Structure 1
Amino acid sequence: ILVHRYSVLVLLKRIMFKLYLSHYKFSLSLIFLCLFLTGLAAQNDKIAFTNSKPVDDKRYSDIKGSPMYFKDWVTGKIIRHDALIYEDVLLNYNGYTRTFEIKTGDEMIELDGDVYLRVDVDAADNPDAIDRIPTEHFAFQKNLHSRFSDQFVIILFAENDVMLIKEFKVDIAKHTIQDVGKAIDFKDFQRKEIYYLKADGKLTSLRYKKKVILGAFDSPEVEPYIKEHKLRLKTEADLIQLAQFYSTLD
């Protein structure tokens, strides 16, 4: 009987040990699976930027001014052509290269413009950049019109088939000045902001001239509205307000 009991105990111990090993192997499998999925997620992030290239922060050290749209990095959302979205990305738009640059840690990279369709920047997330974000929701988008080819342009307002667009681009100009009998050469960035009204599928270039604006916002109700609200038509805010009103007209 004692031998039988001993055999039973040994058998029970073996069963328990096998169960322990099975549980241990299962736990290890879960750990390895988690590590694999984490690595895969990180790999997917890298895949999203595989066509991008590193940026040298001293590349413009010999040029005065800045080609960047914002004074500093802002937080935004990046949307790819395949609808994949990246939230809370530190970014800025380079008007000279016409590309977006993002910051990850201490590294800066230039995004491949062929991969990305739209970048959204909200005023609430960027209180320090409010002077460059005139509306609550601010967007850079490609493929809005053949005039812009495949370049990003800024959507200042869009509603009821009325869209106010801003094109931001930067060129480099060379200068020579005379200083105490010698010539000094230098370069600087020349920033340009061009506004357009897109309404009923038609794109019209805008200037801060009343005649041009009345020709674009083609309605007899526009001029009385301008007078009533004392719009000087000299600021971006005036154009946005006028576009908002124009979108309400039949």
Structure 2
Amino acid sequence: MIRSSILSFFLALITISVSAQNNFYNQNNQVLMQDRYDKIDGTPYLLEDWGTAVLYPLKGESLRHAKINYNGTTGTFEIVEGDAYIELNAALYNKVELNYKGKTYTFVNRLKPDDVTYYMVLHEGKDYLFLEHFEADLRSQGANYGVSADQEKFVPVTNNYVWKDGTLHDINRNTKKIVSFFDSPALKKEVKNKKLNLKDDADLSAALSYYDQRQEKKN
């Protein structure tokens, strides 16, 4: 379970009351063409379908929206209102809780004050965040026989990071690399004994929760 301790370190305190003021979404946001990806293979979106979300703006009350997804090509969230697709201005929202099929994905930005890149929080420790960044790269598949232009496709790419002491550390999503980063013999033993695969989100959370408990006992 993601706690609020480290997130509150760099997120502004936000009122949790919810409002449904749809006109707010149209302020400083961009209306998009619905058919802009029709000729490209694959999808730029994180989710297969549209989810729901709570948006936390830098100022004002939190907002709910019933149709939302994350676009890995633009690095922004998109909502659907009627027939309109709207790209939300990332500078306005420093936290998004995206809900899809019973699972909640928490996104944060402004790890540094001027950085609006969104990262998904996979685990929150006392003094660190284990993060994932999703992108959808647009690549050429090469020209096919009888086709004059190259066909483009979206290719999903994920990168992982640990945010600690104000620094974003690149980390390979590899069990040995993660254990090495945290430099804990107890964690290494736990992962080995439980045969945890840290490429799996549930195993990662279990391992880091164990690490957190050990750190608390030390302190």
Same fold (TM over 0.5): yes
Q: Structure 1 residues 53 and 203 mapped into 2: Cα distance closer, same or farther (>3 Å)?
A: closer
Map 1:39-78 to 2 at 5 A: 45-78=22-55
1:241 and 2:187 correspond: no
Indicate conservation of the 8 Å contact 1:49/1:112, yes or no.
no
TM-align CA RMSD: 2.5
Q: Which residue of 2 aligns with 1:166?
A: 132
What is the Cα deviation at residue 184 of structure 1? 6.3
Runs of 4+ in 1 over 4 A off after TM superposition: none
Question: Aligned to 1:238, what secondary structure does the other structure show?
Answer: helix
Q: What's the offset of the Cα at 1:208?
A: 3.3
Which structure has more RCO (C-alpha within 8 Å, separation ≥ 6)? Answer: 2
Kept in 1: contact 2:139–2:153 (CA 8 A)? yes
User: Would you say 1:155 and 2:121 are equivalent positions?
Assistant: yes
Is residue 197–residue 204 contact of structure 2 (8 Å, CA) maintained in 1? no
User: 1:229 is matched with which residue?
Assistant: 194
Question: Contact 1:79/1:86 (CA < 8 Å) preserved in 2?
Answer: yes
Q: Which string of whole-angstrom CA distances, capped at 9 and with x for unpartnered residues, describes residues 56-77 of structure 1?
A: 2210111110000111110110
Any unmatched runs of 5+ in structure 1? 1-40
The 1:47–1:213 alpha-carbon spacing in structure 2 relative to 1, beyond 3 Å, is closer
Unaligned runs of 5+ residues in structure 2 are 1-18
Structure showing greater Rg? 1
Going by fraction, where is helix more abundant, 1 or 2?
1
Give me the whole-angstrom Cα distance separating, in 1, the residues matched to 2:165 and 2:205: 17
Deviation at residue 152 of structure 1 after TM alignment: 1.0
Q: Share of identical aligned residues, percent? A: 27
Counterpart amino acid of 1:207? Answer: N
Residue-by-residue CA offset, 1:92-143 (whole Å, 9 max, x unaligned): 0101011111112232211112211111124xxx32xx5xx4xxx4211111
CA contact (8 A) 2:175 2:199 kept: no
